[in-house]
């Protein structure tokens, strides 16, 4: 009998991208539902049956259970498929820092995009929106700097020599505003790692299918 597939909601380039990359490294079949909630209500409504937050990623497990929250999904996948080696396990000395930085990317950085994608959610004039956009970009840059300063030195990937879900997560989120060229300047240690993950042969198909390196992709932001 074929392995029941996961169903992953989220358009290319969204937070569903690292989840897709993890599933491909695991070798798990996945059905894709491309939804771009930042494009408006008609897209958001497609998420109502699975996520009242109207956000992606959403992963429907083979059991039918629904998972949301990118960090939780990635950690769950890594734990569920330990043979893929995508995270330090509960008894591993690197586990504490792994959980710390997964939560940091989600809580301190990814959460900023709720307001960045539509600054009118927190600002009531075009001028105020511009301030929110600018300050949230600065806050994201500061968070990358803080994280970078605390990454171990001399490892191939962020927490060691094995590519894991934290690497996938940072590689994708660092492509969003304020964009990669700024990320390289703010986070030189992590810059080496994300370039390595961009070029990882096992991920060529994932990036091509879900977040292609189209001409001019490596832009700068504020
Ligand atoms: N806490 C969520 C945040 C997800 C999120 O913000 N997703 C974006 C797309 S990358 C989204 O759905 N934005 C639409 C909206 O917030 O209205 C997670 O980590 O999965």
CA 94 – CA 88 distance, rounded (Å): 6
User: pLDDT per residue over 21-64, tens digit each?
Assistant: 999 999 999 999 999 999 999 999 999 999 999 999 999 999 99
| 1 CA → ligand 1 middle, Å | 35
CATH number for the domain including 71?
A: 3.40.30.10
CATH number for the domain that contains residue 130: 1.20.1050.10
In tens, the pLDDT along 131-187 reads 999 999 999 999 999 999 999 999 999 999 999 999 999 999 999 999 999 999 999
Nearest CA to ligand 1 atom 18: 69
Task: Domain count for the chain, please give it.
Answer: 2
Residues 53, 17 within the same domain? yes
Rg (CA), the chain: 17
What domain range includes position 170? 95-201
Contact of 176 with 109, CB cutoff 8 Å? no
* In a shared domain, residues 131 and 49: no
Same domain, 126 and 76: no
Asked which of 64, 84, 104 is the last residue of a domain, the reply is 84
The Å distance, Cα 205 to ligand 1 centre, comes to 24
Residue nearest to atom 2 of ligand 1 (CA): 69
If asked whether residues 67 and 39 sit together in one domain, one would say yes
Cβ contacts of 58-65, under 8 Å, gap ≥ 24: 58/8, 58/9, 58/10, 59/6, 59/7, 59/8, 59/9, 59/19, 60/6, 60/7, 60/8, 60/9, 61/6, 62/3, 62/4, 62/5, 62/6
Q: Which atom of ligand 1 has the smallest separation from the CA of 37? A: 14
Residue 176 tokens read as: 């969003």
Give the strand pairing for 30-33 and 6-9.
parallel
User: Last residue of some domain: 55, 84, 113?
Assistant: 84
Residues 106 and 80 in one domain: no
> Is ligand 1 within 6 A of the CB of residue 17?
no
The answer, yes or no, to whether residue 4 has pLDDT greater than 90, is no
- Is residue 18 in contact with ligand 1, taking CB distance under 6 Å? no
31 and 100 housed in the same domain: no
């Amino acid at each position: 009998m074929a392995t029941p597939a996961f169903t992953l909601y989220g358009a290319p380039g969204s937070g569903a991208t690292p989840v897709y990359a993890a599933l491909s490294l695991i070798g798990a079949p996945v059905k894709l539902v491309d939804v771009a909630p930042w494009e408006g209500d008609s897209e958001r409504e497609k998420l109502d049956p699975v996520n009242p937050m109207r956000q992606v990623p959403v992963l429907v497990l083979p059991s039918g259970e629904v998972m949301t929250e990118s960090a939780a999904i990635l950690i769950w996948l890594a734990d569920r498929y330990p043979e893929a080696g995508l995270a330090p396990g509960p008894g591993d000395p690197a586990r504490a820092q792994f959980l710390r930085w997964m939560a940091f990317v989600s809580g301190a950085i990814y959460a900023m995009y709720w307001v960045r994608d539509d600054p009118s959610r927190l600002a009531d004039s075009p001028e105020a929106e511009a301030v929110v956009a600018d300050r949230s970009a600065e806050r994201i840059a500061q968070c990358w700097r803080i994280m970078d300063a605390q990454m171990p030195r001399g490892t191939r990937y962020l927490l060691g020599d094995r590519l894991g879900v934290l690497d996938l997560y940072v590689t994708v989120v660092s492509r969003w505003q304020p964009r990669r060229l700024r990320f390289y300047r703010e986070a030189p240690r992590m810059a080496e790692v994300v370039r390595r993950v961009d070029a990882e042969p096992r991920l060529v198909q994932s990036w091509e299918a879900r977040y292609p390196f189209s001409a001019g992709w490596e832009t700068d932001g504020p």
